[in-house]
Amino acid sequence: MTHHIHDTWTPQSWSRKPVVAQDVEYDDPKALESVINTLSTLPALVNPMKIEIARKSFAAAARGKAFIIQGGDCAESFDDVHPHAIQQKVKLLQEQSHLLGQGLNLPIITVGRIAGQYAKPRSSPLETLEDGTLTHTFRGHNINGPGVEERRPDPYRLLLGDFYSRTTLEMIRHTQSTPSTTGKTFVPAPSSFPLTPEETDVTPLETPTGTIFTSHEALHLPYESAMTRDRYNTSASFIWIRERTRQLDGGHVEYIRGLRNPIGVKIGPNTGSSTLIALLNTICPEPHLLENIGRVTIITRLGADKVTTVLPPLIKAVQEAGHTPVWMCDPCHGNTQTSEAGLKTRHVGCMLLEAIGTYQAHRENHSLLGGLHLEQTGDFVTECQDDDTLDTESNLSSNYHTLCDPRLSHVQALSLVRQFVDFVRSWERKEKLGY
């Protein structure tokens, strides 16, 4: 492991940066300090050994030896931490992994937006209610509550979030240890990757079949740094930052650059090649090292109408700069719209077009798409539109429960993955025939 490039880094060095986007202001800083001190003494949510397994797994995806499916709620709810909800989320991820494994003929890395996705970014810390009252914006259950009377940021919610994350992890372990009643054999775990120790600079570690890595957005830096042990963020295996938090001189980039965890960065259609390369060089200044293959995951969220023009120049720039990231497609965020009734929604057809367009752009530019990143739920919600069951906006309100952005329902999420696999197989057949 090479640490000399991070000599000035500590889990708290982010606090010295001039920009800390999405910072939360608490009425009682001493209460926050007390909570952070408590969190820093608690056992790790994720063992560093599992984080190293995740790093090895993402390296495999970067080399085209595996494929990642990452999915879960836009924002998790404390209210959903019960066996049925967790089982449904795990079941959906397993079914998607099975479809992808069978269709792509690759080992599948399964990553849940789960056990910690309790904080959400907002364009403004305050909002005006219909009655004219100015109040705090709802920013996720880790920070405040959705009810008007719950909007004041409460540091003790971070302890609740830790409790619910631990409870969720225990439920996931129980679900995975329960024999499947579907009769399906799921895809081999990352231990089957044909990699040598030299290729990843980590010792091969056994991974139980059906392993689900946890992930969340690294947004609340006091919490994230409190959960950091040495260079491991032990609150999740995989964490990411987004456009609102990826300033080169910002606290979030400073924080993630020193971690051993695989790191994701989300980029939108306005991200230029020079901006992306500067970001990659800051997070991973030694891309030539074998251990840095797949260290960074670039999560593109470009929109179905922009992906074919925006993505190719970015791919070429990354190739020329010598980086070997995991390229992942988030077909959800770039296709969000607002219904006439004021509800956020997305159309499954547009999401599929972006996923297909992303795959095609990578193949045409001698690159590899390494994964899909989906906002979804194991329940049968009515938040995204499709051409079958939700073909009109009037149907949306019948079962619309998201805390933030619209999620694919169980059926929609499976359908999207199935259609994506069908396209990939068709592409590969045509390629073999020389079309």
Q: Is 206 annotated as a binding residue?
A: no
Nearest-angstrom CA–CA distance, 260 and 291: 10
Q: Mean of the pLDDT values across residues 67-71? A: 98
Percent of the chain's residues with pLDDT above 70: 90
CATH architecture of 4-432: Alpha-Beta Barrel (3.20)
* Highest mean pLDDT, choosing among 22-26, 39-43, 242-246: 39-43
Residue 333, marked binder: yes
Q: Is 244 annotated as a binding residue?
A: yes
pTM over 0.95: no
Could you report the per-residue pLDDT of 84-142, keeping only the tens digit for each? 999 999 999 999 999 999 999 999 999 999 999 999 998 889 999 888 889 999 999 99
Per-residue pLDDT at 200: 39
Residue 204 reports pLDDT greater than 60: no
Residue 202, pLDDT above cutoff 50: no
Residue 318 predicted with pLDDT over 90:
yes
The confidence band for 238, taking pLDDT boundaries of 50, 70 and 90, is: very high
Q: Quick one: pLDDT at residue 195?
A: 38
Q: In the predicted model, what is the mean pLDDT of the chain?
A: 90
User: What's the confidence (pLDDT) of residue 247?
Assistant: 94
Better-scored residue on pLDDT, 83 or 183:
83
> What is residue 341's predicted lDDT score, i.e. its pLDDT?
84
74 is in an annotated binding site: yes
Tokens 């494994």 identify what position?
A: 101
Q: Report how far apart, in Å, the C-alpha atoms of 428 and of each of 24, 358, 368, 424, 434 are.
A: 48, 15, 13, 6, 10
Q: Name the pLDDT band for 224 (thresholds 50, 70, 90).
A: very high
**266 annotated to bind ligand:** yes
The pLDDT value given to residue 176: 77
Predicted confidence at residue 396, as pLDDT, reads 87
Side chain identity at residue 417, one-letter code: V
The answer to which of 122-131, 174-183, 224-233, 336-345 has the lowest mean pLDDT is 174-183
Alpha helices in 216-347 (DSSP H): 221-226, 251-257, 273-283, 307-321
Whether 6 has a pLDDT exceeding 70, the answer reads no
pLDDT bin (cut points 50, 70, 90) of residue 434 is: confident
pLDDT at 209: 56
Q: Give yes or no for residue 2 having a pLDDT over 60.
A: no
Domain ranges of the chain: 4-432
Report yes or no: 330 and 362 within 8 Å, Cβ to Cβ: no
- Farthest CA pair distance, the chain: 67
Q: How many CB atoms lie within 10 A of CB 171?
A: 21
The predicted pLDDT at position 393 comes to 72
The per-residue pLDDT for 431 is: 86
Classify 102 in phi/psi space as left (phi over 0), alpha (psi -120 to 50) or beta.
alpha
Cβ contact 98:226 at 8 Å = no
CA distance from start to end of the chain? 45
Residue 245 is predicted with a pLDDT of 95
305 is in an annotated binding site: no
Residue 332 vs residue 204, higher pLDDT:
332
* 301 annotated to a ligand binding site: yes
- Which tens digits make up the pLDDT trace of 364-414? 999 999 999 999 999 999 999 998 776 567 788 889 989 899 999 999 999
The reply to whether 113 sits in an annotated binding site is: yes
Predicted pLDDT of residue 146: 93
Per-residue pLDDT, averaged over 311-319, amounts to 99
CB 423: neighbour CB atoms within 10 A?
A: 15
Res. 342 pLDDT band, cuts 50 70 90:
confident
User: Average of pLDDT values for 322-335?
Assistant: 98
166 is in an annotated binding site: no
